[in-house]
Every structure is written in structure tokens, then in C-alpha cells.
């Protein structure tokens, strides 16, 4: 469904030194800097896949989504979505995909959402029966029927995001690009949006590419992740395999009843962390968990002890650090 080969986008920006006279000199001579927001990125996504697209701020995630949507042109490389070249911006292509940007609205701010939905119906030339059927299905799934007549500016952030999803899906796209759809939402709204997206993907086999900084979004929705950093792809594979990278280590937490705790520096090669409330945290190899736990219990009395996996956020951060 989506094929990306060596996709690159370079932005040329003006570098202005501080000060008034530097601005005057800039009128006659300017120094430019080129930045590759996406650098030789390649991947392919099959029909019906739900793929997470991860990276730190400025890694090139949104730039890649915009190139796949035809909003900006690639500097070099090639992209195909459902057989279409996004950069040609053909009307037939625009009818089969949707882009939802978590920090930008497509709905009219001073009108009820249902008015914007009617406008979209005419833009996409949707038959009345199909429009009504799709709208009824979406508003019931997201539980916002009672808010259709409310001005968009008066909706909560979670309600607005649900309306944005409805607007994106009215024409039943085959491909959905989601850029931070749960940003700023409370826990209840995040769970509602995740449940909706998971159900929608299974029912309609819509191909979805999701960017998010909330690892809960990725863990609940995606079986596969693509990670980019500084414009380059550094990982493409199953979420399970990515989590197994952190599986080589475990986190041991315990709360000693005796301070200082004997032999603490030797437990994890001197890398033990102590929190303000007196808890001690050790990152240890999985193979050493049993022996180190035994040494902790033998060294002195402890109030409690627990063993947990390394959080996905830490695994991703480690990938970024290694580039």
C-alpha cells in the first residue's frame, strides 16, 4: 500500500547572526544552512497494517507524512501510496487518504462540527445515503452525537479530536496518516481514541501510519514500528523485537530498612540510583536478576522488592542515543 524509496527532503534556511548591523548585512549577503529533515528513508507498508512511526522532536516524522500526503515535495527519492505518486496531487489520490494533525484543526472554529461535515460531503461528492451511514457509525463509535450541534470552539480538546477523526474518515479512506492524534488529551480521551482506532483498523482494514510520543499508543495499537532519528531510519521491525532489546536487562527496585545499605556499591557496579523517598533502583542484566536479588536480601532487611521490564520509552531513548 505504501512504498518509500530513498526519500529525502532538504530545507534551506537563512542563518541570521544577532544584532542590528548583522540584519543590515543580511540584506546584501546571506548565509544559508541546509538541513535534511528526511534523509534517504525507505520502507514499505502492506494493506491493513497499523504501523508506529517514532522519533524525537525534529526527527522528520511530520515531514515524511506531509510528503506522503503531497503537501510538500521531496528533494529526491520516490514514494508510492496505493499506486499513486503523492507529489502529483491527483484528485483520485486525495480521495483515498486522510491526514490528521494533532496540533492543527481542519474544522471551522466558529461553526458546529456537523456543518463542516456537510461541507466535506460536498467536497468529496459523497452520496447522501453513504454520508449518513458513515456519519452515524462514526459518531456512535466515538460517543459524540450529542455534540454535533456545538460550536467547535466550545468543545473540549478530546471532543475536538474525535470530531477531527470523523472529518478525516467520512470519505472512507484506504490510508490514514495520524500525527500525534492523542497529544494533550486526558487519560480517558486517550483510551477512547485508541479503542476507536483499533476497532476501525480491524473492521475496515485501513492502512494506518501513526506518530506519537505516548508509548501507550504504540504498545496498544501497533505490531510494527519504524524509528527515525535526525532524518535517518534506525529501526524497522516488530514491536516485540524492539522490546526484546530492553529485555536483556531488568529493573530491580527495593526499599532498604537500613541506611546506608551494606554492599550497595557492589550490587550493580556502583550504578545504583537512590530516589528521594529512599527507594534504590538497579539496572541489571536479565541473567543476573536472581543472584543480585539474593545478594540484596542477604545483605540487609528490606521493606519491599520488585522486578520489572525496561520501559519502552527507555529502549527508544537508548536507540536515539546510539543513533
What values do phi and psi take at 96, rounded to 5?
-110, 5
Predicted pLDDT of residue 8: 92
DSSP annotation of 71 reads: S
* pLDDT at residue 323 tops 60: no
> 124 near 84, Cβ under 8 Å?
no
Domain ranges of the chain: 2-243, 247-322
CA dihedral over 192, 193, 196, 202, signed as positive or negative: negative
Ramachandran category for residue 19: left, alpha or beta (phi over 0 → left; psi -120 to 50 → alpha)? left
Mean pLDDT of the chain: 84
pLDDT digits (tens, 9 = 90+) for 268-317: 565 677 777 778 888 777 777 888 888 788 777 788 888 877 777 677 77
- DSSP annotation of 311: P
Over 80: is that where the pLDDT of 26 sits? no
Alpha carbon distance 317, 320 (integer Å) = 5
pLDDT at 17: 78
Homologous superfamily of 2-243: P-loop containing nucleotide triphosphate hydrolases (3.40.50.300)
Q: How many residues does the chain have?
A: 323
CA of residue 1 relative to chain centroid, distance = 20
Q: How confident is the model at residue 44 (pLDDT cuts 50, 70, 90)?
A: very high
* DSSP per-residue letters across 268-294: TTT--EE-TTS-EEEEEEGGGHHHHHH
pLDDT for residue 2 = 93
pLDDT for 274 equals: 73
CATH architecture of 247-322: 2-Layer Sandwich (3.30)
CA dist., res. 171 & res. 106, Å (int): 15
The C-alpha atoms of residue 179 and residue 66 are separated, in whole angstroms, by: 10
pTM: 0.78
Exposure b/e, 215-248, CB count within 10 A at least 16 = b: bebbeebbebbbbbbbbbbbbbeebeebbeebee
* Per-residue confidence (pLDDT) for residue 106, from 0 to 100: 84
Confidence of residue 183 (pLDDT cuts 50, 70, 90): confident
For residue range 71-130, what is the model confidence (pLDDT) as tens digits?
Answer: 999 999 999 999 999 999 998 999 999 998 877 788 888 899 999 999 999 999 999 999
Nearest to 312 by CA among 229, 244, 233, 255: 244
Would you state the pLDDT for residue 105?
80
Is 266 in a helix, a strand, or coil? helix
**Model confidence at 132: pLDDT above 90:** yes
Contact, 141 vs 196, CB < 8 A? Answer: yes
d(CA 75, CA 39): 10
Helix axes 157-169, 113-123, angle to 10 degrees: 20
- Residue 133 — very low, low, confident or very high, per pLDDT cuts 50/70/90? very high
Amino acid at each position: 500500500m505504501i512504498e518509500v524509496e530513498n526519500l529525502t527532503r532538504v530545507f534551506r534556511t537563512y542563518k541570521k547572526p544577532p544584532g542590528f548591523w548583522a540584519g543590515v548585512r543580511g540584506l546584501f549577503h546571506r548565509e544559508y544552512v541546509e538541513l535534511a529533515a528526511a534523509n534517504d528513508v525507505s520502507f514499505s507498508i502492506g494493506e491493513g497494517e497499523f504501523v508506529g512511526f517514532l522519533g524525537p522532536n525534529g526527527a522528520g516524522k511530520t515531514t515524511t507524512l506531509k510528503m506522503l500526503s503531497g503537501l510538500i515535495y521531496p528533494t529526491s527519492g520516490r514514494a508510492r501510496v496505493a499506486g499513486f505518486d503523492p507529489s502529483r496531487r491527483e484528485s483520485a489520490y486525495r480521495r483515498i487518504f486522510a491526514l490528521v494533525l494533532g496540533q492543527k484543526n481542519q474544522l471551522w472554529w466558529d461553526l458546529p462540527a456537523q456543518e463542516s461535515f456537510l461541507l466535506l460531503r460536498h467536497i468529496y461528492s459523497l452520496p447522501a445515503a453513504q454520508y449518513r451511514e458513515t456519519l452515524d457509525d462514526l459518531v456512535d463509535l466515538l460517543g459524540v452525537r450529542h455534540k454535533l450541534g456545538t460550536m467547535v470552539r466550545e468543545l473540549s480538546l478530546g471532543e475536538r479530536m474525535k470530531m477531527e477523526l470523523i472529518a478525516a474518515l467520512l470519505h472512507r479512506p484506504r490510508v490514514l496518516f495520524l500525527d500525534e492524534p492523542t497529544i494533550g488529551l486526558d487519560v480517558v480521551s486517550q483510551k477512547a481514541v485508541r479503542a476507536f482506532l483499533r476497532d476501525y483498523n480491524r473492521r475496515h482494514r485501513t492502512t494506518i501510519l501513526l506518530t506519537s510520543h505516548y508509548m501507550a499508543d504504540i504498545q496498544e495499537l501497533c505490531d510494527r514500528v519504524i524509528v527515525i532519528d535526525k532524518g535517518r531510519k534506525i529501526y524497522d521491525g516488530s514491536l516485540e523485537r524492539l522490546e526484546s532489546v530492553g529485555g536483556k536487562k531488568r529493573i530491580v527496585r527495593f526499599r532498604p530498612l537500613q541506611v546506608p545499605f551494606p554492599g550497595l556499591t557492589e550490587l550493580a557496579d556502583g550504578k545504583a540510583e537512590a530516589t528521594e523517598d529512599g527507594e534504590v533502583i538497579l539496572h541489571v542484566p536479565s541473567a543476573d536478576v536472581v543472584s543480585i536479588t539474593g545478594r540484596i536480601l542477604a545483605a540487609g532487611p528490606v521493606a519491599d522488592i520488585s522486578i520489572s521490564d525496561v520501559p519502552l520509552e527507555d529502549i527508544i531513548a537508548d536507540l536515539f542515543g546510539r543513533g
